[in-house]
Amino acid sequence: MPAMNITPLPYAALAPDQIGIRPPDGRLPADIRIGTVALQIADLARSLAFYEDVLGFQVLRRSEGTPAAGAVAELGAAGSEQALLVLHEQLGVRPVPRRGLLGLYHFAILLPSRADLGRFLRHVHVLGVRIGSSDHLYSEATYLTDPDGITVEVYRDRPRSEWQVSEQGEIQSALDPLDLPAVLQAAGDTRWQGLPAGTTIGHMHFYTGSLAQAAAFYHAALGLDKVTWSLPGALFVSAGGYHHHVGLNVWAAGSPAATAQDARLLSWELWLPDAASRDAAAARLQQAGFPTEPAPEGIAATDPWGNRLLLRTDGERARH
């Protein structure tokens, strides 16, 4: 059932400029994408056993630890040298408690097709890995927890022709049961061979202490549209009419924020098409009272709960 008590419309029933609520002072371009996610974890060998063997990442590059810094591994999908995930070992960091810490709720791996999701589900079932799952109307999703207690979503998107919206342009979401037999059937006889070519980081989702503060940073200043705003305790924002590039919730409100002593998110990248759109976003953040600073990877900003965002451009990707 839809999460909101309305009569939904097909997504295509509304014009693109009727989807969502635009930010007041400037909007990110439609063709943004999420880049590399960097995590701090306690034991690199233990984490690699999960991220390689269970999730299907490939190790692209690896450096051993030194007295000053822990070991680091860059991970990606088949056929690409672009890192989707970087694991930074910091011995002794605490696992994420069951209730969560303000900061990362989960990062989400977007598979190219329903068949890929079916192959992944069959793979983790054979391994005996416990997962959660849900049908969100616009996507079919599974959830796993890594050895440090960090949650990872693995999902596939439905075509936008199957999405639903309200008359007000709110993208409709749900927590329906996943149709597991149909997803497995889509896999056919092909075996899972790791994350396939075309896999990306589809979205980020954060525990926050206040949806108003979260909207001030991600919507009003950064420039993402509000696209789902009626879910209890949650707000989803995106560019280009996507169901969400960033999820925000207050489901762990009252918990402390993740610190340097915790397994946590270190940074995540948002890629913009050009320097003009990157600089405009950075200027809006600065004007709204969220400091930005130049970084080797682009322009850095940090949200009120310590989530470090790196604004990058396609020109920088070409130079690297």
Residue-level pLDDT at 7: 85
How is the chain split into domains, by residue range? 9-319
Q: What is the mean pLDDT of the chain?
A: 95
Is residue 2 over pLDDT 50? no
Percentage, residues of the chain above pLDDT 90: 92
> pTM of the full predicted structure?
0.95
Query: Which pLDDT score is estimated for 319?
Result: 42
pLDDT grade for 148, boundaries at 50, 70 and 90: very high
pLDDT in tens, 275-290: 999 999 999 999 999 9
pLDDT band at 318 (very low <50, low <70, confident <90, very high): very low
Q: Read off the pLDDT of each residue in 236-240 and give the average, rounded to a whole number.
A: 98
Query: Residue 86 above 70 pLDDT?
Result: yes
Q: Can you give the C-alpha Rg of the chain in angstroms? A: 19
At 44, is the pLDDT very low, low, confident or very high (cuts 50, 70, 90)? very high
What is the topology classification, in CATH, of domain 9-319? 2,3-Dihydroxybiphenyl 1,2-Dioxygenase; domain 1 (3.10.180)
pLDDT value at 72 more than 50: yes
pLDDT band at 314 (very low <50, low <70, confident <90, very high): confident
Q: Is residue 5 very low, low, confident or very high in pLDDT (cuts 50, 70, 90)? A: low
Residue 17's CB: how many other CB atoms inside 10 A?
A: 9
Is residue 320 over pLDDT 60?
Answer: no
Q: 218 pLDDT exceeds 90?
A: yes
